[in-house]
Each structure stands twice: as C-alpha cells, then as structure tokens.
Amino acid sequence: MSLTESLGLAALHRCDPERAHSLSLLALRAGLVPLPGVVTSARLETDLAGMVLPNPVGLAAGYDKNAVALTPLMRSGFGFLEVGAATPRPQPGNAKPRLFRLTEDRAAINRFGFNNDGACAISARLALRPKGPVPVGLNLGANKDSADRSADFGEVLATCGPHIDFATVNVSSPNTEKLRDLQGRAALAALLARVMDVRAELARPVPVFLKIAPDLSAADLEDVAQVALDSGISGIIATNTTLSREGLKSAHKGEMGGLSGAPLFEKSTRVLAQLSALTEGRLPLIGVGGISTPEQAWQKIRAGATAVQIYTAMVYEGISLAARVARGLEAIAQREGFARVTDATGTGRADWL
C-alpha cells in the first residue's frame, strides 16, 4: 500500500462509514488514487463462463452501486467488475445509519436495502463505459414495494442487458424483507426461468450467475445446486453476507443487517466447497467472503472457485488490494507448479467438506 493510499484510508476512517464510501468513489473519479492498470499474465488469465478475464480477482457488487466509477475501477487491478444492485425503479433504501465498521473484526454490517438510482440511469452509464479487457456485470435486484419481485429481475436485465458482460440474480440480500424466500426450490426455479427467458431475447445473451446466502442448510444447498444445473444459468456466486454474529468483538456487532468481511471467510468457503461437490464441476463458481490476502483467495480457488471477488477488505487494505491479491495468486501458482491459477480449482475441496 502506498503512503498516499495509507493516508487516504486513515482520513476515510475518521468519517461516517457511508460518507467514507461516497468519498472513496469521488476520489477515484477525481484521479486522486494511484491505479496499477490491468493486471494480467498467461498464468492469471481466466475463462469464466466464456468470458476471458485478465485475472480471477473481481470486485463484488455493492461498492459501485450506480456505475459511477467504471473508468477508474477498470484500471484498478481487478479482472472483472460487478456493479449494482439495480432495481427497476430508483429507491432510497433503508433509513440511516445503515453501514457500520467492525474494525476489531475486520468486518462490516450493512442494511442498505438496495438503495440505487434505478435501472434506466444505471443502464445509461453502462452504455458509456469504455471498452476494454475487464468485463463489467450487473447485480439484479427487486424493488422493496414490488408486487412481483420475480418480474423485477427480468425487467432490470431487459433494460441493462445490452450494456453488460454478465448478470447476477441476487436473491440472497438479507436487507429486503422476504427476498431470501426466493431461494426455495420452486420459487427459485420459476424466477430463473423468467430471467433466462429475458436473456434469450437479448441481441447478445450474457452469462447469468446466481448469488446465494451463506446461511442455507445442506438440504437447501442441494436444492439450489439442482435448480442451478437445471435452469441453464452460467454459474453460482458463493456467498452474500451472513446473518450470523458468532465470535464478534466490535461495538456494532448487534446491528441488524448483513455481516461481511473476515468473520465470513470460513462459513462462505465451506458453502463454496459443498457447492463444488454438488455440481461436480459442471458450473463455474465465484468465491466471495472474507478474502483479504492472496493466500485466502488461493484457498477459495482450491475449494472450488474459478474466480473470486473482494469488497469489505478494501475498507481496511485499500483498493490496491485487488492488484496485490492477483499478483500474489500468480506467485503462489508458480510456486506450486500450476501453469494457470485456475488449474488449482477444486484441488483442495476435501479440506472444507
């Protein structure tokens, strides 16, 4: 981490967390943050559902909710970006305060509630993004007051689909009441069928991923895996935030919302490994939750991930974390004798089962 980034992080940590989040995006857009450019090599290049990624380290949804900082983010060392979540209509989200740093736990709790500018505004920004080697995807959400939440996902995809490289169906946020109910077998199958119907109508059909919660039972995971395989989607993202509060020390540990960051690592990695076993390599998996080092990203890959995503750790490690993790993965793969990082996918799955 550079001195500039270190000082910037220290200043941001003196602000309210949500204000700091907004200021970090402003700093990126203003060119105040040193950026490494695209990080890639033959060992890092990754095929994810037909997309060629410069490296397997992505930005998870939630940081650039409204696609306002795409140009600098594409030069920040990530191999792919996910923006959103977007809902059909703009919505303010839940009442503030709704974002809390848990510094002692290297974690965060949020209850944003899909606050965003709406699909039309986000689609317009996506249409203007620079073309380049870093794929950009969109997390699809549903409006809180929607009469038909299943239809909302397809509506966002229809609006934004022409301007994205992949889409993620997000039925795992804990901050929209009853949204996680859509992870049930019948509801999920119906939802994914509607989304895939919309996808088929796009001039350029894009890969569709499903993002799941880490709090599912073994039986629920079996249902999710089977529905995902039957639906024709391109992969699964494991996992979103957790409702668990086990082992936390920070003052804000009792806040309602989804917990992300270091405490999620083991739980999310076990879910990832279970999904890898259940899908038997037939679907690519993206590992998310608690990654702050190259070694942890490597563990996700060995547990079954083709690619990984980071977000909360940047609160403590800065945006340069993406490049550090990517280059660290390259070094680990070389040391372990793998020609490509993704050749290690699933080789350590048994350690997590």
pLDDT, averaged per 10 consecutive residues of the chain (353 residues), comes to 90 97 97 96 98 98 98 98 98 97 98 97 97 96 92 97 97 66 82 96 96 93 95 97 96 97 98 97 97 98 98 97 98 98 98 97
Q: State residue 2's pLDDT score.
A: 85
Q: State residue 4's pLDDT score.
A: 85
Q: State residue 11's pLDDT score.
A: 96
Please identify every residue annotated as catalytic: 173
Q: State residue 181's pLDDT score.
A: 67
Put residue 261 in one of left, alpha, beta given phi > 0 → left and psi -120 to 50 → alpha: left
**Phi, psi of 4, deg, nearest 5:** -60, -45
Q: State residue 176's pLDDT score.
A: 63
- What angle is formed at CA 327 by the lines to CA 321 and CA 36, rounded to 5 degrees? 60
What CA–CA distance (Å, rounded) separates 337 from 341?
10
As given in the structure block, the two tokens for residue 167 are 């889409």
As given in the structure block, the two tokens for residue 295 are 């070694």
Q: What is the CA radius of gyration of the chain?
A: 18
CB 9 within 8 Å of CB 319: no
Q: State residue 185's pLDDT score.
A: 86
Alpha helices for the chain (secondary structure H)? 3-12, 17-29, 70-73, 119-127, 149-160, 185-201, 218-231, 265-279, 294-303, 313-317, 321-336
Q: Which domains does the chain have, with CATH numbers?
A: 3-352 (3.20.20.70)
Q: State residue 334's pLDDT score.
A: 98
The amino acid at 79: G
Residues in the chain, overall count: 353
CA distances from 211 to 23, 95, 170, 221, 350 (A): 28, 25, 5, 12, 23
CA-wise closest residue to 286 among 314, 311, 253, 309: 309
CA-wise closest residue to 78 among 283, 263, 308: 308
